[in-house]
Amino acid sequence: MNTLQQSTPARLHHLQIVTGQPETMVDFYQRMLDLRIVEVHADSTVLAGPARAMVIGRSDGGIEPHYGYAVADASALEALKRQLSGRDLPYRTIEDPMFAPGAIVITDPQGRRLAFGVAAQACDYAGPPARLQHTVFQTTDLDNIVRFYVEKVGFAISDEVVDADGVVMVVFMRSDDEHHTLAFFRGSNNEWDHHCYETSEWNDIRDWGDRFAAAEVPIFFGPGRHGPGNNLFFMVTDPDGNRLEFSAELGRVAADTLPGVWPQSERTLNSWGRAWIRS
């Protein structure tokens, strides 16, 4: 089966989230990530910045969260639609302010929504490097969710984390050449775990850390280095408690590479020391 990486590479382009405090969230992402307001609607605000973008909606406004993956062009999007139809995966068209007309959305068995489309405009804004790169979830049904994203959508598994009993606890999946653009942790809840911004180098990690420190936003995990993906990282939270990761040196994976297997341990999640273990 052709994977997204092989046939229609897709990168995480933007997030659409909902919140009960939209003004506070818009202010945070403007100040801390250099996002600019490009559109204001009755129930949402559209923000864009250098290689990162977000739609922040009111939780009482009727919009639903989704995670927008961009493909190269209209022909790639049409090819993806044919592949999804061939795998009996229903999709519907969606109006997304960050995508050109024709974008689609799929829904996984637990209700998460991924949109695919062609970027409506280049994110050529100035600002420190931090490209929106991946998003991660916790799930109570890891095996079936992974099967859905691999067999129906076309993601490829880069690495798995396995506990002492041989149970898979974490799966990292890719939709292009980067180690992961999507991942799932086995957990007791079905929730958004974090989203990540890939920087250029270690000095960028330092500079982003200094920025959050100056704003009195504390790091809650890291700095460190992940085993799977080999990337440097740290994590902070936004006013809603959503977790943001800043990363550097994320590995790249060839299309024919077999999935790696890692033991579930603190050193797998942070080879430098203590780790945040989901439960």
Tens-digit pLDDT profile for the chain (279 aa)?
799 999 999 999 999 999 999 999 999 999 999 999 999 999 999 999 999 999 999 999 889 999 999 999 999 999 999 999 999 999 999 999 999 999 999 999 999 999 999 999 766 688 899 999 999 999 999 999 999 999 999 999 999 999 999 999 999 999 999 999 999 999 999 999 999 999 999 999 999 999 999 999 999 999 999 999 999 999 999 999 999 999 999 999 999 999 999 999 999 999 998 888 887
The β-bridge relationship of strands 44-49 and 92-93 is unpaired
Residue with tokens 């920087």: 199
Q: Residue 183, SS3?
A: strand
**Rounded alpha-carbon distances, angstroms, from residue 96 to 3, 23, 78, 208, 276:** 24, 21, 17, 29, 34
Which structure tokens are listed for 149?
Answer: 């994203």
pTM of the model: 0.97
The pLDDT assigned to 123 comes to: 60
Q: 102-110 contacts: CB < 8 A, separation 24 or more? A: 102/74, 102/77, 103/68, 103/77, 104/77, 104/80, 105/66, 106/153, 108/145, 108/148, 108/149, 109/141, 109/144, 109/145, 109/148, 110/139, 110/140, 110/141, 110/145, 110/190
Contact 18, 12 (CB under 8 A): no
Task: List, in order, residues 6 or more apart from 82 with CB less than 8 Å away.
Answer: none
Which structure tokens are listed for 39?
Answer: 């559109």
| CATH class, range 131-269 | alpha beta
The pLDDT assigned to 124 comes to: 67
Distance CA 130, CA 168 (A): 30
Contact 137, 189 (CB under 8 A): no
Distance CA 257, CA 156 (A): 10
Residue with tokens 């085993």: 227
Task: List, in order, residues 6 or more apart from 89 with CB less than 8 Å away.
Answer: 106, 152, 153
Q: Is 131-269 the same fold as 4-118?
A: yes
Measure the CA angle with vertex 143, ends 192 and 165; round to 5°.
Answer: 105
Contact 205, 198 (CB under 8 A): no
Residue ranges per domain, the chain?
A: 4-118, 131-269
The pLDDT assigned to 276 comes to: 83
Residue with tokens 């250098």: 50
Which structure tokens are listed for 260?
Answer: 């790696």
Q: What topology is assigned to 4-118 in CATH?
A: 2,3-Dihydroxybiphenyl 1,2-Dioxygenase; domain 1 (3.10.180)
